[in-house]
Amino acid sequence: MTNKVRIAVLDDYQGAALDHADWSTLFDRAEVTVFRDHLHDADALVERLAPFEAVCLMRERTPLTAAILDRLPRLRLIVTTAMWNAALDCAHAVARGIVVSGTQSIQSGTPELIWLLILSLARRYDAERASVRDGGWQTSVGLDLCNRTLGVMGLGQIGTRIARVGNAFDMRVIAWSQNLTPARAAAAGAEFVDKDTLLAQSDFLTINLKLSERTRHIVGAAEIGRMKPSAYLVNTSRGPLVDEAALIAALRERRIAGAALDVFDLEPLPPDHPFRHMDNVVATPHIGYVTDAAYRVFYPQVVENIDAWLRGAPIRRLPQPGPT
């Protein structure tokens, strides 16, 4: 019989958690179990987590709702990477006496991926690479970014980095969000426009917003309908910011030129999902923040938080109220 605390590390898709931090500092007091798969089913998740006193979450891969938390009476600590996790009901966890903590994060990975996606769309990278691998040669004519219009929906830390690079490519950069002002846009190197203008004039529209009830489906059928037939949509933030059914319909009917997507309504993306197979979609598996540098911040601080909790020392607590 062991008196060690049982810790579950969830959704370690790459098997990277143990390689990016020194977990051995916990082994005299804790047993660490790493799960590389993902469970969508709530009952299966509860059954898996029932024996554990602590759970480590990677961003928003596994939701811990109030209903799930109520079924985990042994749970005493939740550690999530980053200081924001909309899939975790932080307030309910705290009300149940569960300590909820987070880590710092870095912002470089997602903007870099956004530019990879934009360039892949502009230069038809998937098709041209496939042609070379299949023994063929040139199949299409690419687009210059110079003098195109880059639309940035959400001009926070990530959006500002996107605008900066857009200017380096000599693009016209326009921006809108619900709280953006002309002065803040200008400071970031963008021209403030209203939402309709953003949609109508963007050649590449990138969404960089937090998901909340206010922003859910902020790009729906009506918004997609205002975009140019030659325009491309890029979403690396959260899947439900865009009405998925409306986007699929528009892509199938070629009412916009294409989309690059790193986030989806359901993740991992089901094997038969249309986004996996459409020729005008570049899809990546939610890898915006998945970089070595980010993981070397996330996992060492996860270990630090667990160690502090085990010692009764101060811990990085997640801000409330939790999901919005």
- Under the banding of pLDDT at 50, 70 and 90, the label for residue 323 is very low
Residue 131 has pLDDT above 70, yes or no: yes
- Under the banding of pLDDT at 50, 70 and 90, the label for residue 22 is very high
Provide the pLDDT for residue 186: 98
CATH architecture for segment(s) 109-283: 3-Layer(aba) Sandwich (3.40)
CATH of domain 5-105+292-311: 3.40.50.720
pLDDT in tens, 49-94: 999 999 999 989 999 999 999 999 999 999 999 998 989 999 999 9
Residue 284 has pLDDT above 70, yes or no: yes
> Domain residue spans in the chain?
5-105+292-311, 109-283
Q: Between these two residues, 311 and 323, which has the higher pLDDT value?
A: 311
d(Cα 194, Cα 202) in Å, to the nearest integer?
12
Q: Are 81 and 103 in contact (CB under 8 A)?
A: yes
Residues marked active site are found at 238, 267, 286
Strands lying side by side in the sheet with 191-192: 191-192, 172-176, 149-153, 204-207, 232-235, 258-261, 281-283
pLDDT in tens, 103-115: 999 999 999 999 9
> Three-class SS of residue 151?
strand
Token pair for residue 101?
């903590």
pLDDT in tens, 29-43: 999 999 999 999 999
Residues making up the chain, counted from first to last:
324
- Under the banding of pLDDT at 50, 70 and 90, the label for residue 26 is very high
- In the chain, the percentage of residues whose pLDDT exceeds 70 is 98
Residue 322 has pLDDT above 60, yes or no: no
Instruction: Note every long-range contact of 92-98, with CB atoms under 8 Å and residues 24 or more positions apart, other chains counting.
Output: 92/65, 92/66, 92/322, 93/64, 93/69, 93/322, 94/320, 96/69, 96/70, 98/69
- Under the banding of pLDDT at 50, 70 and 90, the label for residue 319 is confident
Residue 1 has pLDDT above 70, yes or no: no
Cβ neighbour number for residue 93 with a 10 Å cutoff: 22
Average pLDDT over residues 215-219: 97
Q: Are 77 and 84 in contact (CB under 8 A)?
A: no
Residue 233 has pLDDT above 90, yes or no: yes
Domains 5-105+292-311 and 109-283 share a fold: yes
Averaged confidence pLDDT in the chain? 96
pLDDT in tens, 171-215: 999 999 999 999 999 999 999 999 999 999 999 999 999 999 999
Q: Between these two residues, 316 and 235, which has the higher pLDDT value?
A: 235
Provide the pLDDT for residue 224: 98
- Under the banding of pLDDT at 50, 70 and 90, the label for residue 321 is low
Give the CA distances from residue 105 to residues 18, 26, 84, 140, 294, in Å, rounded to whole numbers and listed in that order: 18, 22, 10, 39, 6
d(Cα 254, Cα 244) in Å, to the nearest integer?
15
Residue 318 has pLDDT above 90, yes or no: no
